[in-house]
Every structure is written in structure tokens, then in C-alpha cells.
Structure 1
Amino acid sequence: MDKLIGRDKEYEELKRCFHSDRSELVIVYGKRRIGKTFLIEEFFDQQFDFKYVGAHGMTTRRQLNNFLNTLNSYSPKKYSHLGNWNEAFYALEEYLSTLPTNRKRVVFIDEMPWMDSGRSIFVSALENFWNGWAMSQRNIMLVATGSATSWMKDKLVANKGGLHARITCKLHLSPFTLNETERYLATRGIEWDRYQLTQTYMVLGGVPFYYSLLDPEQSLAQNIDRLFFNEGALLKLEFDELYNALFDNAELYTSIVRLLSEHESGMTNKDIFLSLPSKSSNISKAIRNLESSDMIEKWLQYGNKRRDAVYRLTDFFSLFYFKFLANNLSHDDEWWSNHINSGIVFDWMGNSFELICMKHHKQIKSALGIKGMATSLSTWQVKPDKEAGTPGGQIDMIIERADRIIHLCEMKFSTDTYRIKPEYERRLRERSGLFKELAKINKTLVHTFITTYGVANAKNKSIVHSEVTMDDLFNS
């Protein structure tokens, strides 16, 4: 297990299923490039009784032909034709029946959602295979993976038919944390300081495959130029490939994430509907699918009803794409190196650091000494009211504790200790007063600063009640 980083719980679950005394239907899902296939292949050391990889965009006929060829490479009996998925799974059943029964017979189907093309009967055939034969064998382990997380959840996890309550293990692979990123890059001979590692997270977002493309012999800036801005850059076309591989009608999905990329503080469901030129009835479904696929995230607004929750684009790669690639016509192979100290890059890093902090709220709780305490997370924003004469305000992350203390989190990314200026201190005090008044707060409010290297010890630091630094975010 030396090669696996940050997948300890998933590994133990796979081991439990492999050694159980029943048949196991295991699904592994998570965003594309997150390492689903790698996890399964490493756990089983590439030893499968049957392995098939679904192909994107193929017709059912071609999928069946591929399945036929794969099955014939395993089975002593050679099949000449598979008319539909029922026949395909029956042939698989025949082959598996020839294998020893004193051990788990392992079937690995990679990218299962891509097999369900057109008007195929794939899901019902899978139901028949599992319920009619595999489950009763008590020693079949079927592992299915899929990047189309919405398909995996809708067709398998939330299945109302034959697969209802049949899934015995669900593994959702999340992006690496900063800690896991650091450990993974160390195995590849990359030992940058944590400031640079945090910058890589802003671009690559904890997706292992993207990190595997980094060259240890190059600087971070050189790597970003090579991956995104050089002629023929490896990830220059990744955005379109990513969304087209995950979603039908990818144009609707990309229009939603583009919209959210322009509203960093988030948008409500209603705001999204009103802002899109197309009033497609599929917008709600697209929003749900984007959330299921870890591309966007829903945050409750403090004191508001659930329907007023805001959606934020939380896929770092997509945010980087819209900020620096989507409209970049410069043809500058070293664009990043030439602009690394520009205002636009520093602004982007500040916003990205806020998102990193929100993604690492567990590490923040631990640093604050409230790891085991019940808390709730939310955001808050209010628009200026000219008639009432009240200013607007925004707090990106609020941590409310069970002991009636509320942390108003300020997240600042800087190259040195952060110095609070008098004007900024005044704005913070006014904002907390506005929040307390409008949200009708009768609990204790504290300002928590989350910074790269801490807050400078100056007279305006008195507003800081608690601190968390970048190093704290790297804790496991």
C-alpha cells in the first residue's frame, strides 16, 4: 500500500469486502482524474477475474462488441455475438461459474456510466445479474467505478428497482487535502515549501492525476506554463474534455460554472435561473449533478432558509481556467512566469486561499481546539439598503459552536505576516455590528484570522481573537 496516499479508509473498506462471507457490490465514485481506477488496481494488484472499461460516447452495439472481445480474452468458451446487455451478463455469469468457488471472484467494471448509452437496458440487466445470480453465490465481488457521479448516485445508490439497498459498499473519493498533497508530491521528489504547495492547490485542486504531471526538475511557474500555456500544453484542452466526459448537454453545465466563476460569493438557485439566457427545465438537474460531481458546493446563508442557500464554484481547475485560460489570446508560452507578480494573479490567489480554507474547515476546527464540538458552517451576505441607510456586508465563512460562540473567519493570503491596517479594523468592527443587528445575534462573536504566516503583532491586532496559519491547514 506504499503507493497509496490518503485512501486509508477506502483501502480498509475494500479489504473488509474482499474477506467477507457474502457477495459484495462496491461502487467507487468521484470526480474525473481523482484516482478511482488507481485505487482499485493497486488494491487488487491488477489481479481481476474480469475487467472491462466502458468507452465514452459509444453506441450500445459497439459497447457490446467491446464487452464481447474482453470476455473472450478471459473465458475458455468463445462467444460469437451478444445481442443485448442481458445476454452479456449471462455470458459473464457462465464464465465466472467456471472459476474456483473457494475464493472471491472479482469483477471490475471501470467507468460503468459510459456503458449505459442510448436506450440500452444496461441497468435492468445489471439488476438481473446481481439479484438473479451473483448475490446468491456469496463469493462475487463486483466493483464499479464512475466519474459521472450523478449517474452512479441516481442509477445505483438511489435505485428504486432491483438494486434498491443492494449496494454493500459506497466509496466516494474526494480530492487530496493539503496534507495529502504534500505527502504525494514528496513521493515524486517534489519538496516545495508550503507557500508553493498552497499555490499548486489553487491550480490543481487536490486532483492526483494533475499532480502526477508536475516535473520535479522545474519550478512551479515553469510547470504551470508547461501544463497550461505552452504550445500543445497537456492541460490546455482539459476543461472541455472534462465536462464533455461527465455530462450530456455539457454546454448547459459549462454555462452554469462560467456564471458561478463570475460570482465568487455564490448565487442562489433563483439567481442562477434569472441569469442564464436559457430557461431550460434541466437547469435544476444540472445544478444537482454539478454538486454531486464535486464541481460546485452549497452553503447555507446564516439565519436564512435552505432555499436561500448559495452555490459556489469550488472546482479549482475550473476557476483557474475561467480566470486565466478561457479568454487568453496572448499565445505567450510563458504567460504565467511573465505575470506571476501581477495584481490579477495576487487577487486570484487571495480568493483561492479563501476557498482552500473553506475546504479545510476540519483542520481549522482542530487548530481552534474545537475538533470534537458540534458546529455548523455557513456564509453571510447582505446587500446595501439605501432607503434604510445600511451598508452591505459579507462573511465568507462562519463557524457557529454549540457553546454559543460564533467565529467570523477572515482569510488572508500574503507573502509575510499579515498587517491589519486601521481602516480595515474599523470595517471589521462595523461589519460585525451589522451582522449582529441584522441576524439578531445574542451569542459571542469572535474574529478568527486564517493567514499564511500569522498576523503581525501591531496595535490593530487587538481585533483578532484567534488565529490559524497555513501550517495548520496542512495537518491531517
Structure 2
Amino acid sequence: MEKLIGRELEKKILREALSSKEAELIAVYGRRRVGKTFLIRQVYQDQVLYEFSGVHNAPVKQQLENFRNTIALTLNSPILPAIPQNWNEAFLWLIQLITPQLQKQKVVVFFDEFPWLSSKKSGFLPAFEYFWNSWGTKQSNLIIAICGSAASWMIQRVVNNKGGLHNRITRKIRLLPFTLHETATYLKSRSINLDHYQILQIYMAMGGIPQYLKEVRKGESATQVIDRLCFTKDGLLLGEFNNLYNSLFETADRHILVVKAIANKPSGLTRNEIIEETGLQTGGTTTKLLEELVQSGFVNTYLPFGKNTKDLNYKLADEYSLFYLKFIENSRATGNGTWIKKSTSQSWKSWSGMAFENICMKHSHQIKLAMGISGIYSEESTWRSKSAQINLLIDRQDNCINICEMKFSNSEFIIDKSYAAELQRKLTSFQNSTATTKTLFLTMITTFGVKDNQYKSTLVHQEVTLEDLYKS
């Protein structure tokens, strides 16, 4: 069986539930293909008595029939009983199935794709609430684990439920994509021997999504992997974009509209700018839509330095979405060799710089470790004016600010006279505009370091390289 890579905190949370003296209701959520099901199955492989998965857009009768069939398989029954009339009856069957085992050992019941079971007028969620509140909470040997890719639904209807499940979730896990370190470890476990620069290029195209990374083959370069998965007719990622959003959101067309608007502005957009770009209405519907994209991990928010929450900046965080919208959608070129040509173009060179920035911002923990400031309280933010822009600054409690410049290159980065002048103007502009009295440290974050010259020695206070981003 495939080994579970990383996920140390998540494994700890799940294992702690096994030694609990009370009934446990655990919610695990995260975007599609991030590894939620695999995590539950691996940690609880010896305790799962019953596992059932919802089907996207299936009518309630089909879901109940699937439930009946799974019960029959669990019991190894040669004769199929009648289909339950409703979910209350179905949960009664479940109680009868697991009660004898609860007297002997810890039992895990696993509901996968939980939101898909709770379609309109299905009656599933009220029945589940009654099942848990009237019976489940009394079973000290019972763990109910529920998963869902629709992260916003899981949070609104389960984690923050205002009805029968209010405050009933005992543990929750938001499962995020692999970090660079976890990605490298995962590929190595599959005997994929690529250096960190090659892995970075793959990460820039598909992010740390285990199910995508599973498609990487031994002996292929990053360019070959991207070429096959994204530009050949049977490539997994050629048509994944629409499937991804439509499986998570009921109004996926509006979510995609927002994603495309943000993708066109690498520095990000405020809420008002998003409304202006997309034509969406102001109000709660748009607020909910943005929250759904954030909770599902497609969009990250950053508070600009010295601003309040109305100036919150939304940036597209999903590497695959960024890559798809730039290079796959509307691409006239397809077939073998497409990416080999595209990866040498000027558009790729400019895009790769933005993609690297995005990855750096996700690895701020590793950046702080490399700078030796992980023990100092700090806040990350962005800043922009009419004349300058800083995509990552780290405002520290010890009265210092790291101004981070992130540069992607295939060799040592060179600060020339022109760029040195630009950096100095940026530092001066920030200090004058914000009137900060804190000490400013210019930090260069690059793939292979900064070449020693007079400009580096004069301007750069600290360096972080690609190798630092791979630290655990």
C-alpha cells in the first residue's frame, strides 16, 4: 500500500481521537484531489468498519440505493434488502450494523464527499444531525469522520452549523496541498529522482496536489511531465479546470469569472475591484463567493501594509489555475512538444517570475526559518503605491521590516546598475510613504542565490534560496 507522506499534524489529530474516551465527530475538508480520502483511509485502515461516499448530483434515491449496497457488501450479504425509504431509516440500519462492534473496539464510520449527500430536499443533513445527537454522541467507542471537497459548504453547514450540529464537531482538519518539501519527499517515495529546480517547475504548473503528482513518471524531465499532462489529448490536466470548479461550487461560472479576473492581475484585486471587473453585485452573495474561494484554497488574502480590512487584497493562489489560464486555455498549440516550445518563450519567463512569487508567499514559514526570525512575532503583508510595489514584506515585532524581493532564474541572479537603482527607489518610496521608523532589511529570495558584486554588498541584507524553501 502507498505510504502516507507528510501530514504530521493531521495524523496526530486523527490518532488522538483513537485514544479519546468520548464520541468523536471529525470534519476533514480541502480542495479536490488533495488527499483527504487517502489520509483517513491510511490512518484509520484498521478501524474503519463502514465507508460510504456521496455521488455528485445524484438523486436521493440513487444515494440511498448506494447506501444499501454498501451495507450489504459490509455484511457480505448475498441478498439485497429493500432500499431505505429515507435517510432516517438508513441511519437506523447503520446503528444496527455498528452497535455489536462498538462493544468490542474503537469503530470508525467514514462518510466521503459528505456535501454531495446533502442535496436539496434530500433530508440527509437533518437525519444525520438526529443520528449523531440522539445516538452517536453516547457511543464512547465511535468516531465519525466526514470529508468534503466543497470546503465552504463543510464550514458553513458542518463546522459553523447553527442548527443541530452547532458545536458538535470535536476535531477539524483543513487539508492543504503539499509544500515543496512534502512534494519532493512524495516524488522520492515513488522513485522519481528530480532535483529541486525541476520539482519547482512541476510545482509551478500543478502545485502540491498529490493526485496530480502521482502522474509524474520516472525518467521524465519537468518539461516532459508538463507537456504530457497539460498538452496531449489524454493529459489529466488538459480538461481538469472546469471539472475542478464545477464539482465544488453550485454557481461555478461565477467562481470562474472571479478567478479569471484575479488571474489577470498578478498583484491582486480588492473586493471592490473584483466587483468592478466582473460585474457582480455588491452584497452578501459576492462576499460568500469570495469566502468560498478562500476556504477552498484557490484564493489567498493579504492585508496591505497600514491598511484596514476593506482594502484586503485577493490573489489567485492555486498554481494549476494560474498555469491553465495562462498557457492551456485558448492555446492553439497542442500535442507532443508543445510545452518544450512554450517554455522558452518570453511570456513564460515573465509568468514564471510571478509563479515563483506565489510559491514563496506560501512558504513564508520556511523563509522566516532561513532568516532566523521564526521565533519573532511577525505579520506578512503587501504594499503598493503609484510608483512602487512590494509583494511580500514581513513586519516584525522587534521594530524591523524585511522587504522581500523574489526573483526566479535558472542561474545566479545578478543585480545590475538599473535594478539596483530600482530597489533603492522602492525602499525610499516605502519609507517616505509609510513614514515608518522601523529598520528596513532588503531580503532577496532567489532560486540559486545572488551573484556577488558591488550592488549586492551595498543593498542586500539577507538571502534566501530555493534550497531554503524545501526545508520542512
Fold shared by both chains (TM-score > 0.5): yes
List alignment gaps of at least 5 residues for structure 1: 384-391
List alignment gaps of at least 5 residues for structure 2: none
The 5 Å alignment of 1:385-464 reads 392-461=387-456, 462-464=458-460
Conserved 8 A contact 1:252-1:283: no
Conserved 8 A contact 2:26-2:146: yes
Offset at 1:72? 2.5
Q: Please state if 1:352 is matched with 2:347.
A: no
**Partner SS, residue 184 of structure 2:** helix
Q: Is the deviation greater in 92-101 or in 173-182? A: 92-101
Provide the rounded CA distance (Å) in 1 between the counterparts of 2:279 and 2:272.
Answer: 13
Offset at 1:83? 2.1
Q: Deviations over 1:230-275 (max 9, x none)?
A: 1222221100110010100110000100111100000000100111
Q: Deviations over 1:58-117 (max 9, x none)?
A: 122221221122123234696413222222212211222233512112101111011011
Which residue of structure 1 lines up, in the alignment, with residue 257 of structure 2? 255
Counterpart residue type for residue 68 of structure 1? R
Offset at 1:283? 2.1
The 5 Å alignment of 1:163-202 reads 163-202=165-204
Counterpart residue type for residue 326 of structure 1? E
Provide the rounded CA distance (Å) in 1 between the counterparts of 2:260 and 2:102.
Answer: 53
**Partner SS, residue 147 of structure 2:** strand
Q: Deviations over 1:202-229 (max 9, x none)?
A: 0111111110001113222111111011
Which residue of structure 1 lines up, in the alignment, with residue 272 of structure 2? 270
Conserved 8 A contact 2:303-2:309: yes
**Partner SS, residue 345 of structure 1:** helix
Distance change (3 Å), C-alpha of 1:23 and 1:100: closer
Q: Please state if 1:362 is matched with 2:365.
A: yes
Which residue of structure 2 lines up, in the alignment, with residue 472 of structure 1? 468
The 5 Å alignment of 1:153-164 reads 153-164=155-166
Distance change (3 Å), C-alpha of 1:100 and 1:127: closer
Which residue of structure 2 lines up, in the alignment, with residue 103 of structure 1? 105
Structure 1 runs (4+) deviating above 4 angstroms are 75-78
Provide the rounded CA distance (Å) in 1 between the counterparts of 2:335 and 2:164.
Answer: 55
Provide the rounded CA distance (Å) in 1 between the counterparts of 2:19 and 2:245.
Answer: 37
- Give 1:315's match in structure 2, choosing from 294, 314, 318: 318
Which residue of structure 2 lines up, in the alignment, with residue 37 of structure 1? 37
TM-score normalised by L of structure 1: 0.95
Offset at 1:456? 0.8
**Partner SS, residue 396 of structure 1:** strand
- Give 2:128's match in structure 1, choosing from 126, 129, 143: 126
Q: Is the deviation greater in 239-248 or in 421-430? A: 421-430
Provide the rounded CA distance (Å) in 2 between the counterparts of 1:217 and 1:474.
Answer: 22
**Partner SS, residue 66 of structure 1:** helix
Provide the rounded CA distance (Å) in 2 between the counterparts of 1:411 and 1:278.
Answer: 33
**Partner SS, residue 122 of structure 2:** coil
Q: Deviations over 1:285-316 (max 9, x none)?
A: 11110000000000000001111010000000
Provide the rounded CA distance (Å) in 2 between the counterparts of 1:213 and 1:332.
Answer: 17
CA RMSD of aligned residues (A): 1.6
Offset at 1:334? 1.8
Provide the rounded CA distance (Å) in 1 between the counterparts of 2:334 and 2:228.
Answer: 13
**Partner SS, residue 56 of structure 1:** coil
Q: Is the deviation greater in 363-372 or in 187-196? A: 187-196
Offset at 1:322? 0.3
The 5 Å alignment of 1:367-378 reads 367-378=370-381
TM-score normalised by L of structure 2: 0.96
Identity %: 40
